[in-house]
Amino acid sequence: MLNIKGRLNKNGEIVFSKGKTLEGKTQYEEQTSQKPSGINIELLVTIDVNSLISGIDGFVWATKNICQAEIICNALKVQKIEVEIVNVELEKNSLYLIKVNREENIKEVIDFIQNDGGGLRLKPDWNYPEGERNQSFEQWINE
């Protein structure tokens, strides 16, 4: 879950801490045609982490560990699969997403990373307690 804070400005936009804006309308504004400003806004955003690595938009894996992302990408590149690492900042933490660039490779890559007996057989980081290393990745590395 992400907790994002911002402030409503006089143009009716929510301005977040890094200067990013989100246009929004309030019921008050619709009823009175006045735009409130200076109001603190707090958003709680929940991400369905399992759908995050389901191949939507090419994303097949996510980890908090850049080394893990690089090793997985290199294992895929050896197989001539075009992949890239996309770094997403979530609050003050980085999440490294592995993105497959060719749609026809997505299912094959998901199977290789998560399911295939001859593949990596990894479990996502969020299967482990906060701060604990990904044991499935450690096991694969040490085989």
Domains of the chain, residue spans: 2-45, 49-142
**In this structure, what token pair is assigned to residue 125?**
């980081």
**In this structure, what token pair is assigned to residue 60?**
């097949």
Contact predicate 64/87, CB 8 Å: no
Sheet order of strands, 83-90 included: 59-63, 93-100, 83-90
Higher pLDDT, 119 or 72: 72
According to DSSP, residue 11 is labeled T
Picking from 49, 46, 53, the residue whose alpha carbon sits closest to that of residue 97 is 53
- Mean residue pLDDT of the chain comes to 82
> Could you give phi then psi for residue 4, rounded to 5 degrees?
-115, 130
Picking from 139, 49, 133, 30, the residue whose alpha carbon sits closest to that of residue 97 is 49
> What Rg do the C-alpha atoms of the chain give, in angstroms?
20
**First CA to last CA distance, the chain:** 34
**In this structure, what token pair is assigned to residue 114?**
């998560």
Please give the pLDDT value at position 66: 94
Higher pLDDT, 41 or 76: 76
Span 102-123, average pLDDT = 90
Higher pLDDT, 22 or 101: 101
pTM of the model: 0.69
Q: Quickly state the pLDDT bin for 27 (edges 50, 70, 90).
A: low
